[in-house]
Amino acid sequence: MKLHEYAGHDATGLAELVRRREVTTVELIRLARKAHDQINPTINAVIEFYEDAESVSGSDTGPFAGVPFLRKDIGASEAGRLQEQGSRLFNGFRSTVESYFMQRARAGGLRIVGRTTTPELGVGMARMSESLTNGITRNPWQLDRTSGGSSSGSAAAVAAGIVPIAHASDSLGSTRTPAAFCGLVGLNPSRGRISGGPDQQDSGLGLGRYFVVCRSVRDMAAALDVFSGTHPGDPFVIPPPERPYVEELGRPTARLRVGVATSPWGERKVEPEIRAAVERTAKSLEMMGHLVEEMSSPYALADMRTVEAGACVIWMAALDDAARALGRTVDEQTIDPVNLEFYRAAQRLPLSYVAEVFEAQRKVRADVGEAIKGFDILLTPTLPCTALPHSTITTINEGVTIDQFRDASQSLYQFQGVFNITGQPSVSLPLFHDRGGLPIGIQIVARFGDEATLVRVACDLEQAIPWSTRRPPVFAGCG
């Protein structure tokens, strides 16, 4: 198999070749390494490609048998492997925990061959796809643009063809943002669909979820089958699906009521080309027989600000315990200046602040539930803009407060973070590009626990507006 042939397949396609014995697992891993060696110096997406990658374990019978897979360097962990979280504070740290997510990855046949970049501590609003530790991760579609955060390296690596699928996680948009910026499929599953255990079952008070970024809806569906399932001790219980998600592919989709958002839900305006892309998607859904209706923002902006600020405070407050365990201190030598400001702000808040955050979460859930109760799915932009130039959101300049910085970030994620709070599943699909060639992500949101409808609708849209032949200028085996 030639490199461009490897890079042109999705994960399901590569696994089928392995099953037919047209290629071996070792050959695929060697091709992934070759793609890495060719592409990574340009985009800086992979921190470490394991020296022992050809001998890593994985099922020979799972749906992704033999497929190379990369792990985001925060969240789900591999026992004995480095997990440095894009931070000097965690430099050299090796996890002792094998997460359930990685256990399921191996059981599904994936070969974990390395780890990808993330902004420091996964705080994508601070540095998008940049960190002082690992530098800038560049977008394969346009190198002067961010690949998004915080699953920045995973998205860039998949978009550029190093691997067809990679680990991602999402607390306020960290899977869907890089998926949108890099032209990929990025699903944030329902809360409780995928376990964060054994040590992160309640990440960010239930805001965070693990999944993947990939290139096709069939890979998304197969990955749901691989990673879904609860474990003892998980705090959220969710009904299992009626059937395997791959069996939803191509199933008829009943007529749905679709709430469409073309107006802003935050202070940042939706760019005209993105609004037009949403309208074109709505027209496609209407032609499929669905009922389409415009909707306005379902939440109060002040409540969202409180929740997102509170989430950042809670993340930063946990740094003291980590620092003590590592024999280090949280200061200018270990933490990025922006995150250090957030950390110091967290230290100044009273414990009673948590009650304000919980109340704001309750209000958001109640308001959104009431506003969207008449819709089966929602259609929104993933983001109000395409990929930003590097360093657009990086520093707190003189005269700019943390609150102003945070508000600017919230306006970017205005269509995403709300569904981390409600727990609903949402997916960014790479349906369009702007005039400059940058991907435009379109978000579809379903009712809680209804990933099956998302799979069916996403499959319908993939057929109506196909994207599989699009390739970024920086792509393995090309040139």
The single residue of 174, 228, 297, 409 carrying the catalytic annotation is: 174
Q: Name the nearest CA neighbour of 164 among 292, 286, 69.
A: 69
Instruction: Name the β-bridge partners of 257.
Output: 291
CB 148 within 8 A of CB 198: no
- The secondary structure of 280-310 as a DSSP string is HHHHHHHHTT-EEEE----S-HHHHHHHHHH
The single residue of 129, 150, 154, 169 carrying the catalytic annotation is: 150
User: Token pair of 182, please?
Assistant: 């890099």
Q: Note the helical H segments in 247-352.
A: 272-287, 301-317, 319-326, 337-348
DSSP letter for 51, please. Answer: T
- What three-state secondary structure class fits 431? strand
Q: Please name the helix (run of DSSP H) or strand (run of DSSP E) that holds residue 433, with its range, or none.
A: strand 426-433
297 is catalytic: no
In the chain, % helix, strand, coil (3-state, to 5) comes to 40, 15, 45
Question: What is the spatial distance between Cα 75 and Cα 104, in angstroms, rounded to a whole number?
Answer: 15
Q: How many CB atoms lie within 10 A of CB 124?
A: 28
User: Which residues, other chains included, contact 379 with Cβ-Cβ below 8 Å and sequence gap of 6+?
Assistant: 258, 259, 260, 261, 278, 281, 282, 285, 292, 442, 443, 444, 445
Q: Name the nearest CA neighbour of 426 among 408, 438, 413.
A: 413
User: Which residues, other chains included, contact 169 with Cβ-Cβ below 8 Å and sequence gap of 6+?
Assistant: 72, 74, 75, 76, 122, 150, 151, 175, 203, 208, 209, 210, 211
Question: What is the spatial distance between Cα 212 and Cα 101, in angstroms, rounded to a whole number?
Answer: 11
CB 121 within 8 A of CB 339: yes
2 is catalytic: no
- The secondary structure of 194-229 as a DSSP string is B--TTT-TTTTTTT-EEEEEES-HHHHHHHHHHH-B
468 is catalytic: no
User: Token pair of 161, please?
Assistant: 């063809």
- Which residues are known catalytic residues? 72, 150, 174
